[in-house]
Structure 1
Amino acid sequence: MAEATTSMVDLLAQYPGARRALFARYHIGGCSSCAYKDEETLGEVCERNEIDVNEAIAHVLQSHEVDKAMLISPSEVKSLLDDGRDFVFLDTRTREEHEAVTIAGSEFMTQERQQELFGKAKEDDVIVLYDHTGGRVLDTCAWFQGHGLKGTRGMLGGIDAWSKEVDKAIPRYRLEMD
């Protein structure tokens, strides 16, 4: 549960869309002038920005409910594939990740493919996006929905969850950051 004493890093781990929600409503966390440190608490960030912390918590929780509606489980995606359903299955990871490990039936999302979908897809067309662990797919999903593609869903847990829950033959991996 989000509280005033919750650190921002913990808040973002528990509510992945919180960064987007706080930025959209309060312009917090989107750039260097409104940034926060991971170890700061939500209460400290709200106090510095003259925002009622209880209002911010309510907004994060409400946004989280909206975010959950944008998600689809790996087993639901497998059912779509198994049933031969017509949908677009896009890998939003880097090209290197896609070339190393791919879910059969998915395609790499290029800028050209994204623009094609924005221009030609129908509002209710099913589009499923996935990333590595599900940490960034909500933002991409919100981007697609914001462009009118309301049938877009993000795969919960990304390819990592797919590997654990659907196809153990898909190798799991960890990204090494400098």
Structure 2
Amino acid sequence: MTTTTIEPAMTMAEILERIPSAQRALFQRYHVGGCSSCAFQPTDTLEQVCKEHNILDVNEVVQYLERAGEVDAKMTVEPTVVKGWLDAGETLRFIDVREPHEIQLGRVPEAEPMDYTNSQSYMELPKDTKLVFLCKDGARSLDVGAYFVGHKFTNVSSVKGGVDAWRAQVDPTVPAYDIED
């Protein structure tokens, strides 16, 4: 496995360019960068971020960020595995985090749309609730999963490849669609 070298004096923008999953990893482990109360600026150095958030060992953070891809890999799950859990009747919340207009374009019947109008209700779930997040391609659901892990949820997954993979591997009747960024 190849590691990406980062230094404490690098800006967060430089780190995120080298390690796209770094922000998720920071939030999961240190509760930094995932919400407005723990945000950082792209021009802040990693040293500054650690100091501002009372993280004493910046070298530990560097080592952790260099393994950030492993953190994402642990959270991702294949669509066929999720389908197996559903078919076996496992207790879980399968949550579609796409915007309502996207869900209308290609609904996954097994997944509940995330209720953004009452998003705090999810934080009230038991911290060991099995949460499986789904989005268009697997990126947003990783972000949402990291947010929940950062809030001490212990059983969080993101569907690898999102709805696109779900359609290809589980249910070809889910309509394909494109969205503009």
Decide whether aligned partners of structure 1 residues 148 and 55 sit closer, same or farther in structure 2, where only a CA change above 3 A counts.
closer
Alignment of 1:96-175 (within 5 A): 96-119=101-124, 121-175=125-179
Decide whether aligned partners of structure 1 residues 80 and 113 sit closer, same or farther in structure 2, where only a CA change above 3 A counts.
farther
User: How many angstroms does 1:8 deviate by?
Assistant: 6.1
Aligned to 2:94: 89
Partner Cα distance (1:66, 1:8) in 2: 15
Aligned to 2:152, the other structure's residue is in SS state: coil
TM-score by length of 2: 0.69
The answer to whether the 8 A contact 2:95-2:111 is kept is yes
Letter of the 1:141 counterpart: G
Aligned to 1:31: 41
Deviation by residue 1:89-138 (Cα, 9 ceiling, x = unmatched): 1111111001221111211111355322211x222211111111011222
User: How many angstroms does 1:165 deviate by?
Assistant: 1.5
Aligned to 1:122, the other structure's residue is in SS state: coil
Letter of the 1:117 counterpart: Y
The answer to whether the 8 A contact 1:3-1:57 is kept is no
1:76 aligns with 2:86: no
Letter of the 1:87 counterpart: L
Deviation by residue 1:16-45 (Cα, 9 ceiling, x = unmatched): x23434786998x953544xxxxxxxxxx9
Decide whether aligned partners of structure 1 residues 125 and 56 sit closer, same or farther in structure 2, where only a CA change above 3 A counts.
closer
The answer to whether the 8 A contact 2:107-2:175 is kept is no
TM-score by length of 1: 0.70
Partner Cα distance (1:131, 1:101) in 2: 11
The answer to whether the 8 A contact 2:105-2:175 is kept is no
User: How many angstroms does 1:58 deviate by?
Assistant: 4.1
Letter of the 1:114 counterpart: S
Consecutive unaligned residues in structure 2, runs of 5 or more:
6-13, 34-38, 47-58
Partner Cα distance (2:32, 2:91) in 1: 39
Letter of the 1:97 counterpart: E
Decide whether aligned partners of structure 1 residues 118 and 63 sit closer, same or farther in structure 2, where only a CA change above 3 A counts.
same
Consecutive unaligned residues in structure 1, runs of 5 or more:
35-44, 47-53
Question: Which structure has the higher relative contact order (CA within 8 Å, separation 6+)?
Answer: 2
Count residues in correspondence. 155
User: How many angstroms does 1:64 deviate by?
Assistant: 2.0
Letter of the 2:151 counterpart: H
